[in-house]
Amino acid sequence: MGAAVRAARRRSVRPRLAPWLFIAPWLLGFAVFTAWPVLYSGYLSLTDYDVVNDPNFVGFDNYVRMFEDPKVGLALWNTFVYTVVQVPLYVLVSLALALLLNRAGRGAGWFRTAFLLPKMTPPVAVGVLVLLLLNGQQGALNEFLGWFGIDGPNWTTDSAWVKPGLILMSLWTVGSSVLILLAALRAVPEELYDAAVIDGASGWYRTTRITVPMISPALFFVVVVNTIGAFQTFTEAYTAYFGAGNSTYGNDAALFYVIYLFQQGFEFFHMGYASAMAWLLFLVVAVITAVQLVVSRRLVHYEGDR
């Protein structure tokens, strides 16, 4: 009888254990490479730490200092403005291209590849490209504007045009979002359009009343992911204005939050302060994502929802 009970127990434990065993490698990696560094950065944010010497506990000094540091406010503002303009534009361009691609016939495959190719370009190279394409004197963008009689600005040095220039360049990598939206578009049932056509709905009406609601989960995903990405924007702006492209020239208009965080952590070796900045960013992104989730309940339509 005892053996039978043990066998029964083994049978009941195995199904419960198996999933954990399957995800154990990932859990281990997550614990070591993500959870532990995140928790440790929380501790470091309460210390003065220069990488070489032992962390010195300073309580909440780093957090207090952040509120007194005008550059933190400037970097947050720059990042906020960039996000508010870049994300909607990025999503709109992605959607427009996905809609066009959805209608493309034989060339669709080629265009899908073409849209994705820029995503393969290293961001550092894009940063250098920014300086070339947006050069106020001989840049391609101003050359293009010149065809229409428009005297383009100094995109890379005029503080008012630095962020617009970077936003334009960020559209270079819409390819992945285009593919996500295209996949969603392909999943919209054709009969919905057929019914709308029979009812005499215009193309614009079909797009706004059928297409957009039906792909709203994908749109929401693209918005959330790109919002987080925009708050973490770094490489292109750093390369163009603070790194290899310009070792000494910089522009405060391009001082995004993560760039300032990087400077504090890896150029000035204020790891404690940089950690505190990272936690503030986490908090900001978490709040914004939460707001997006709340708003999404009204705007995002999931199949199967009542």
What is the DSSP code (8-state) at residue 252?
Answer: G
Neighbour tally for 140: CB within 10 Å: 12
Nearest approach, Cβ of 136 to another protein (angstroms)? 4
Interface residues for another protein in 10-39 (CB under 8 A)?
none
Q: Is 138 in the site for another protein (CB under 8 A)?
A: yes
176, 251, 289, 292: which one binds another protein (CB under 8 A): 251
Count the residues of the shown chain that bind another protein, applying the rule CB under 8 A.
30
Give dist(CA 117, CA 132) in Å, integer. 19
Nearest approach, Cβ of 65 to another protein (angstroms)? 11
CA angle (91 as vertex; 222, 164 as ends), nearest 5: 125
CB contact at 8 A, 49 and 55:
yes
Q: Is 67 in the site for another protein (CB under 8 A)?
A: no
CB contact at 8 A, 253 and 163:
yes
The amino acid sitting at 50 is D
What are the residues facing 47 on neighbouring strands? 57
Q: Is 156 in the site for another protein (CB under 8 A)?
A: yes
Closer residue to another protein, CB minimum distance, 59 or 247:
247
Count of alpha carbons within 13 angstroms of residue 228, beta-carbon side: 13
Give dist(CA 88, CA 25) in Å, integer. 38
Nearest approach, Cβ of 33 to another protein (angstroms)? 15
81, 158, 212, 232: which one binds another protein (CB under 8 A): 158
CB contact at 8 A, 58 and 48:
yes
Q: Is 79 in the site for another protein (CB under 8 A)?
A: no
33, 35, 50, 290: which one binds another protein (CB under 8 A): 50
Q: Is 267 in the site for another protein (CB under 8 A)?
A: yes
250, 279, 284, 292: which one binds another protein (CB under 8 A): 250
What are the residues facing 48 on neighbouring strands? 56
Stretch that binds another protein, among 115-123, 207-215, 248-256, 288-296 (CB under 8 A): 248-256
The amino acid sitting at 49 is Y
Helix (H) or strand (E) run with residue 47 in it: strand 47-48
Nearest approach, Cβ of 44 to another protein (angstroms)? 12
Closer residue to another protein, CB minimum distance, 232 or 246:
246
Interface residues toward another protein, by CB under 8 A: 48, 50-53, 131-132, 135-139, 146, 154, 156-159, 247-253, 263, 266-269
